[in-house]
């Protein structure tokens, strides 16, 4: 919760406007009360990320912080968030999942519409989610 009245939004390595949009979608679709919360987002290693496929990971991090429950370090998230809270497909999903598998992750969460043929090609557990609410249920139920 914001200590000094006005909540801070501090972003390093990610688009500030995109974070604000994601926070608004979380408020509207997942009923998160983030209007009075400070939000700090930092991409590790000094990276600047412009790929919208990282949106799902940002959403998962915000949810994790809001509930103060950690997300498994062995789970990867790939998905673009839309204004209605849906996860949109991303390009090159096969290459992305193959790389996630090579890096030793146990599971990858991808948009439902990207699932065609991906689940059967890899040994890694592939989880499909269509909306923010489904990601919330997957992570914390």
Q: Does the structure show a pLDDT above 70 at 88?
A: yes
Q: Could you write out the three-class secondary structure of the chain? A: CCCCCCCCEEEECCCHHHHHHHHHHHHHHCCCCCCCCCEEEECHHHCCCCCHHHHHHHHHHHHHHHHCCCCCCCEEECCEECCCCEEECCCCHHHHHHHHHHCCCCEEEEEHHHCCCHHHHCCCEEEEECEHHHHHHHHHC
| pLDDT given for residue 23 in this prediction | 94
Q: What pLDDT digit, counting tens, does each position of 26-84 carry?
A: 999 888 888 889 999 999 888 899 999 999 999 999 999 989 999 999 999 999 999 99
- Give the global pTM: 0.91
Average pLDDT on 112-116 reads 83
């Amino acid at each position: 919760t914001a200590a000094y009245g006005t909540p801070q939004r501090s972003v390093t390595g990610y688009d500030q406007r995109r974070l604000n949009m994601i926070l608004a979608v979380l408020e509207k679709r997942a009923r998160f009360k983030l209007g009075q919360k400070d939000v700090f987002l930092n991409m590790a290693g000094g990276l600047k990320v412009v790929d919208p496929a990282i949106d799902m990971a940002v959403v998962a991090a915000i949810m994790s912080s809001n509930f103060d429950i950690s997300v498994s370090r062995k789970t990867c998230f790939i998905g673009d968030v839309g204004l209605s809270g849906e996860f949109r497909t991303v390009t090159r999903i096969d290459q992305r999942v193959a790389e996630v598998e090579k890096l030793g992750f146990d599971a990858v969460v991808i948009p439902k519409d990207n699932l065609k043929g991906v689940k059967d090609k890899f040994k890694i557990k592939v989880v499909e989610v269509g909306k923010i609410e489904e990601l919330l249920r997957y992570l914390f139920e």
